[in-house]
Amino acid sequence: MELNKLTPNLMVDDVNKTVGFYKDVLGFEFVMAVPKDSQEVLMEMPKDKQLIYALMKSGDVQLMFQAKDSLSEDIPVFKDRGIGASLTLYIEVDNVKELSEALEEKVEIVKELHTTFYGMQEFYIKDCNGYVLGFAESL
């Protein structure tokens, strides 16, 4: 068996707010979404519809965001779970120093830019839902 792709689906309170954060703060592109109380697939970001699901991308990185009620309905084990996770999403980028400087006034940085013993320069932030994102570049 060979695994082909990993696209995390993050449970969130507000998909629209999350899409805005990832688009406006991190530069992700909107790919598609599903509005509340509908099975319609939207290929453009709507201005007046509450979303229950969205897919966004930046380069080869794709993330899905799903409203807690919707995800709990699809996968009942999430019904009594809080939003968040004990993990980091580790994203390799070009020019990590420039990205760190661009984000420092826009997000909560949980670990400043630093150089690791394993040859990476990296920093960590919290997104608007409390998920921890790491951004790294090989030295």
Domain 1-83 architecture: 2-Layer Sandwich (3.30)
* 29 φ/ψ angles, rounded to the nearest 5 degrees: -100, 140
| DSSP label at residue 121 | E
The domain locations on the chain are: 1-83, 86-139
Residues 121, 113 contacting (CB under 8 angstroms): yes
Q: What is the pTM of this model?
A: 0.93
Class of domain 86-139: alpha beta
User: For 36-71, what is each residue's pLDDT tens digit?
Assistant: 988 899 999 998 999 999 999 999 999 999 999 999
